[in-house]
Structure 1
């Protein structure tokens, strides 16, 4: 009991340590998936299709988990979902055909949605207004950095045994879930009823609930969330398979590259991103970050030599790491105490919808051109820049009237 009280006193330290643990484990399998696809002789589009399957159930059940966070509390949902995610990845390890692997990815996606929603709602429920921006930035920075270390560990482990990598991933996710449930603080003022209604399990409830808080400016903002998620996913999924298929890199190289990305992301977020947060003009800065990401991706399309290609990629990773916490902060700022769980549930649903579209796009366009995903991802970022500029103008006008 004394140990639990000590952990709960420093609950945000515990929370972020466990976020790091979960984020690292969640990425153990990513660098070995292209190798697995080629070993099982699955079609090239499988990398996009399988990721889209996970993203689809993530999207479909994000509203369910958003409501269950409200009923059960963030820490319980994190415990349930991490254990479920671990089970899904174990099924992935045991599957040998595309349909069975797809079932495993759908199962994993079902639980991943609850993890992402709970990360955000735990911060909103427990952080002060002064802490919120900094902690939301950390909630984006830590997964990015430790995902890179997860890639490194998984990539190196995968050289020796693909199955052992999956087992390690599953066990680590289950352990994270147990620790989340044991040592985090309960959310304040959570609902007393645990009854699940049809409204809770309606996959489109987030869109129905959104009518209570959406306005024209927020529609534009969440379209930016969709487009940027689509662009990032199309790039990321294409890049993982591209360097294996085009350059012949083993999984350990993929992991090492992601580790470098982790340091780039950490530097970008702890310097540039935090500087932007402290200055307070997040909306103005976000336009330039989105534009920079788009320009770099377009440049990447026409960079054929390996060394300059990797340099441009590293620069893009910095911009990619910065825009996510900034965009999260803008979205969180559009909600209030009463509807924050609905706003962040809708945010996660739109992000997941973008992940589905981006993964499918990357998988099926790969046959037409290995670099086309980079080009279109860049265009999506540039379009997002324009839409966000319009959102900012409308939001500023509304604030001035108020």
Structure 2
């Protein structure tokens, strides 16, 4: 009975995650149009995204520590409202400098949102269902993020300012709902808050030595590379279809909605089946290979129809790897360090977003499709590291098993 109640509460949490994910993506399809309308350089689409990702990266470990002190529900209230304010600042920005400041503000709060998502699932979910709800949380973020693109794309055709105001309002509503509906999961911490210790993002990175091992380091390298690949691709794709095919924001949103259906199907069937019935590490090797192959084909293709088709196939692979990698990180953590592990996971993921956004923005001037080629290479390197990680972990498990016997 308690397990049923716990699962029911987790589904309520996922419903609000879905609402926040919708809102978080309203502005993405209109960003290329905004940059074009302001006559800013092409690289600004990457620089603006990298700015948000930078503060996300820098402060994710900080938010991981704050979640334990003030709870996920309060962190989500603060961060969703702060994210909404940051987007209103983005709406009012007309110069490169003010746009970058607005993105830095948004990124600071976004880090707390994603860390709280992961930490709440680990803290409140049953150990038997933790992997399932991590997968469902990632699915909600991906699928409803795609529908957020759809809504933002069509509203953006009518009015860019209205899109931003809708986004800010929905983000603030999400924060209020999180605070009202979630349970308290803060941990009892004896020591008092110290700004120097708890608000120092670099100190939080140093603290990662408490759980870091060589195998964990390899796994986090995979997190970084896959995030780098996905962001390099995604930022280029959004701008490329506007620049090369002159698609307006509604086309961008419609494509993302189609991708959302495919991601939902892939994550609620194939991804959950992989978790329950296969060695996740081995399955990820095949997923990375599929993603790398699709990206290489995208680089080669020029016609619109096959280009769009292969992109849609790629999004299925791209959606599946995220919950599987999250599950590997969660499996290797315990109750004493789970929030720090997931905070570090989000930090490395955000670092990949920083580098991917900058890389995509600046390499676009060299060749509009080069981002697709390099994203393919990044996934292939992640594949090689996953093979190494799996082999070393299996060897380690055999040694531990022989010692016990």
TM-score under structure 1 normalisation?
0.96
Match for residue 390 of structure 2 among 373, 379, 392? 392
Aligned residues: 396
- What aligned pairs does 1:372-387 form with structure 2 within 5 A after superposition? 372-387=370-385
Aligned partners of 1:8, 1:83: CA distance in 2, in Å? 27
Q: Which moved more, 1:378-387 or 1:183-192?
A: 183-192
Aligned partners of 2:239, 2:32: CA distance in 1, in Å? 6
Contact 2:66 2:75 (8 Å CA) reproduced: yes
**Alpha-carbon deviation of 1:281?**
1.5
- What aligned pairs does 1:1-400 form with structure 2 within 5 A after superposition? 10-187=8-185, 189-191=187-189, 195-400=193-398
**Alpha-carbon deviation of 1:215?**
1.5
Contact 1:72 1:190 (8 Å CA) reproduced: no
Contact 1:71 1:193 (8 Å CA) reproduced: no
Instruction: Evaluate the alpha carbon distance shift between residue 9 and residue 193 of structure 1 in structure 2; reply closer, same or farther with a 3 A threshold.
Output: farther
Q: Which moved more, 1:205-214 or 1:311-320?
A: 205-214
Q: Which runs of 5+ in 2 are unaligned?
A: 401-405
**Secondary structure at the counterpart of residue 64 of structure 2:** helix
Contact 2:198 2:204 (8 Å CA) reproduced: no
* Cα offsets for 1:10-68 (capped at 9, x unmatched): 42122101100000000000000000000000000000000000000001111110110
Aligned partners of 2:164, 2:112: CA distance in 1, in Å? 21
**Alpha-carbon deviation of 1:90?**
0.6
**Alpha-carbon deviation of 1:9?**
8.9
* Cα offsets for 1:78-102 (capped at 9, x unmatched): 1100000000001111111111111
Contact 1:72 1:191 (8 Å CA) reproduced: no
Contact 2:24 2:145 (8 Å CA) reproduced: yes
Aligned partners of 1:211, 1:192: CA distance in 2, in Å? 21
TM-score under structure 2 normalisation?
0.96
Q: Which moved more, 1:7-16 or 1:91-100?
A: 7-16
Aligned partners of 2:332, 2:112: CA distance in 1, in Å? 21
Aligned partners of 2:203, 2:118: CA distance in 1, in Å? 19
**Secondary structure at the counterpart of residue 369 of structure 1:** coil
Contact 1:133 1:329 (8 Å CA) reproduced: yes
Instruction: Evaluate the alpha carbon distance shift between residue 190 and residue 308 of structure 1 in structure 2; reply closer, same or farther with a 3 A threshold.
Output: farther
**Alpha-carbon deviation of 1:204?**
2.2
* Cα offsets for 1:327-381 (capped at 9, x unmatched): 0001111111111111111111110110000000000000000000000000000
Aligned partners of 1:353, 1:160: CA distance in 2, in Å? 34
Aligned partners of 2:273, 2:55: CA distance in 1, in Å? 36
Aligned partners of 1:222, 1:347: CA distance in 2, in Å? 7
**Alpha-carbon deviation of 1:269?**
0.6
Aligned partners of 1:194, 1:264: CA distance in 2, in Å? 47
Contact 2:71 2:187 (8 Å CA) reproduced: no
Which residue matches 2:403?
A: none
